[in-house]
Structure formats: C-alpha cells, structure tokens
Amino acid sequence: MESSPGSSSPDRAPGDRGPGTLRRRALIGVSALGLAWSLAIGIAVDGPTMWGLFPIAMYAMLAFGGLSIAASTTVAVVASLLMLLPSPAVAADVAIGSLTNAVTVIGVIIVLGGALAEVLRDTGVAGQIVHTMMRLVGGRGRTSVIFGMMLSCLLLVAALGTLAGALAVAVPLLLPVAARVGLTRTATASTIFIGGCAGLALAPFAGSNVAIMTAADVGYLQYVLYGAGPLAILSIVIGMLVAPWIQRRTESGDDFYGDEIYDSDAPGGGPDNAHHPHSARAAVVFAAALAVSVVIAVLTSAGFLFPLVALPVLTVVTAVAGRLGPRRFAASVLRGGRSLIGLFALFLLLAVLFEVITLIDPFSVVLDSYGGGIGELSPFAFAVAIALIGWVGVPGATAAQVVLLDQFFGSIGAAIGVGTGTWVIVLLFASKADTYGPFPNPNMMSAMGLARSLNLKYMLLTGWLLLVPSACMYLLIMFLESR
C-alpha cells in the first residue's frame, strides 16, 4: 500500500538521516567552527603566527573526510582570509599575486594540455601512435604484443599528459590485437595500466610533473634522471613479468574476448582512430615538434613557463598538419580546454590560499621555534616521512598534492639539507604512489573498464607488485643521495 506524501517510511523514523547526510552535516559543522576559530585568531593575533598552518590543516582534514576538493579549498581560502583580515590594498596585492603565482600558471598549463589532447584525438594522431607502435611488434608472439601494448600506452599517455583520456583512445585500438593473441581481459587491463602509469610519470607537460619540476626547481632532464626515468624503466621491466604471470593465472577461466571485440561499431571507430586522411603526416609533425620542444627545454634549462609556449605551438602545428579547419580546430581547443576549467579554478583558489599564508608567515615561526629539533632529523628520515604523508595523507588532484606538500614542507626540507634529487623523488612518490595502491582508485577502474575486465583482485596485485619495488628503489636512491 502506498504511503501518503506526508507519511514516513516504516523503515526509518521521521528524524533519521542516512550516513551520507550525517557526514555532510558534520563536515559543514567542522567548517563553520574552523572559520569562526580563524576569525578569532585574526582578531586576537597580529603578525606572523604558527596558526597560519591551520587553514592548510583544515583543508586536508575536510578533503580527507569526504568534502569535495573544491569545497575544501574554498573553506581553506576563506579561513586564511579571516585570519589575515587584509586591508583593501593588501587584498588587491593578494589578487594580483595570485594571478601571476606559479600555482595558477600550472592550472593554465593543464588547460592548454587538455586542448592539445583533444586536437591529437581529432587529427587521428593519437590513434596513429598506437597503430605505428603495434605494427613494429605485430605478429611476433604474445610477449612482444604485451610489450608493444605497454609502449603504446606509455607513449600516448606521455604525449597527452592524462592517463584515463589517453587510454580511452588507445584501448579500443589495442583490444583486437589482444584478442588475436589470446590475452585475457585481466592481463590486458594490467598491461595497459602498467604502460599508462609509466607514461604518466614521463609526460613532460602533465600538470603534476610540471608542478614537481617547479617545486624542486629542476628541468625536465633532471626530473627524468632523478625520478620519472627509474620509475618508468622499473615499471616496464616488472610489467613484463607481471602481465604474463597474470595471463597464466587467468587463462583457464572464461576471461577471453569474444567476437564482439571486432565489431566495427565498437568504441574507437570515431574521430579518435588512425584513419583520418592526414593522421600519418600529423603524427610525424607532432612527434618532431614534441622532440624539439623537449630538447630545447633540456638545453636551455627552461622553467615552468616553457609549456605556456610549447603547448600552444604543438597544438597549432599538429592541427595544421592534420588539416583541421578553423572551425574544427576552435571546437577541439574549446572542448579540450573547457573540460578542465574546473581544475584551473581549483589552482587559482590554491594560489590565493598560498599568497595569504605567505603573508601570515607561519613557517618562519615554525623554524624559529623548532629549528633545533628539526635540524636533528636526518634529510633521509625527513624525506621518507614527507613521502609517506603525501601518499596516504594528502588527498586531491596530483598537481595540487605536489603544491601543498612543497608549500607546507619545502622550506623546512631545504633548512635541514634535503637535496634537489631527493625532493623530486619525494614529490613524485607522494603524488603518484596512490595510483598503485594500496586501495582501488579511479585510474585502476579506468583501465579495468576500458579492458572490459571485472577482476579487481589482480588489478590490485598489479599495483602492489609495482608499488613495493618502486618504494624500495626510491628508498635506496634517497639514502644514497642523502649521505
């Protein structure tokens, strides 16, 4: 029997609320208390204070508690402003400083990268990269195909600077190849995940990698030598052991692809494939332009502003080579950039937060008060602790994680002698380790979904089998660097 509109469900009392509602109310209450406390500090304290760390701590607590990243950042910004209570002149300086802050620039780079990724899809360059790589290894056995699939995903993710977006282009082209040599869905998911993660570490213009290079004040070559290169090489080497092992463990069941994988209407038959009439030429031009950009960046030790020039140039030359008309070019750029505007807004808010906290100046108080104790920590112990904090304790977009860790701990690390190479490793591990585990994450789910796999157990094992050796490798490198 249906209940009247005003009646309550027999399973729940009228005042009861679900756990989600209770959590939201708790987070709202914590936010309100935090803002009130920030205002009280702002009224009571004048000058530098250690309480300036409170907005960042509240940001981490709210985000870790389940509040959205955007909402957590907004609350932290408001808290910092209530603590500073700036005059109109100071507020104007904060606004101007935020627009030119390196954090905001990283947000712009992310938007430009999204525009380039969309142009690579619409010109067929993304698909051409996959087809070319697979032609080099095609027909040479299952092991060669696994290696080719990993390299295809590595190159495409490195070029596009996004894991899920690049795999969405590559995987529909790779699935028929995997089916032809008898790869299981589970082994395919592990293969593309391993290759994609290696490519993400190497991506020269990915937002998180640009943030690491900016924070550590290193160029791309140093970034690759200290951090990304060892991780990418280790990932491929381990992947060539893990993927065949998973294949052997899963090929006895019903985990193979069917004939539907060869359906011409399957995903990947649209503008993302390699059958664009000018895709081959556009791919050659893009590859050459990208190589020149990386060489220039290495030789000139170009800073984080270099992608502001390189990304638009790469986008334009690829579009011209691919014969995209003005309307299609504009539509691609707007579509790719518009999808990341929200992330740009997040970075703009973070820039405001850090500009305000710089004025409150809590770090000088921390160093003055605890400089002696901090100085007793070895650089190695400090680096390991910060890497672990970033891995399990700082939620959010990876580039934002890098910015937060560097703003919070960078000056302290410099004070106790943490080297440049060690700091690159700390930020790289802190921002990327949670992709490998210990828990399921969106990148794992993207790889599984695209490969049509449902076996989460082996995806988690893949992540763990990459995470443990990577952690050991970085521990050894940091130990040697810190001696």
Q: What is the pLDDT of residues 148-159, one digit of tens each?
A: 999 999 988 888
What is the average pLDDT across 220-226?
92
pLDDT interval class at 188 (50, 70, 90): very high
Residue where the block lists tokens 């935020």: 98
What is the average pLDDT across 442-462?
87
Q: Which of 430, 441, 358, 374 is nearest to 399 (CA)?
A: 430
What is the average pLDDT across 144-173?
85
pLDDT at 461 over 90: yes
161 near 206, Cβ under 8 Å? Answer: yes
Higher pLDDT, 300 or 426: 426
What is the average pLDDT across 228-233?
96
What is the average pLDDT across 246-272?
67
Which amino acid, one-letter code, is at 95?
Answer: A
pLDDT at 20 over 60: yes
pTM above 0.85, yes or no: no
The pLDDT score that the predictor gives to residue 237 is: 97
The pLDDT score that the predictor gives to residue 270 is: 39
378 near 417, Cβ under 8 Å? Answer: no
Rounded distance between C-alpha atoms, residue 100 and residue 94, angstroms: 10
What is the average pLDDT across 73-87?
92
pLDDT interval class at 301 (50, 70, 90): low
What is the average pLDDT across 451-469?
92
pLDDT interval class at 2 (50, 70, 90): very low
pLDDT at 170 over 60: yes
Peptide bond into 438 cis (omega under 30): yes
Half-sphere exposure of 262 (CA within 13 A, CB side): 5
Rounded distance between C-alpha atoms, residue 83 and residue 39, angstroms: 5
What is the average pLDDT across 329-355?
87
The pLDDT score that the predictor gives to residue 67 is: 82
Tens of pLDDT, residue by residue over 385-428, are: 889 888 865 545 577 778 878 887 888 888 888 999 999 999 99
Q: Tell me the three state secondary structure of residue 14.
A: coil
Higher pLDDT, 394 or 454: 454
The pLDDT score that the predictor gives to residue 3 is: 43
pLDDT interval class at 275 (50, 70, 90): low
Instruction: Say if residue 384 is exposed, middle or buried (CB neighbours under 10 Å; 0-12, 13-18, 19+).
Output: buried
Which amino acid, one-letter code, is at 106?
Answer: I
The pLDDT score that the predictor gives to residue 191 is: 96
pLDDT at 98 over 50: yes
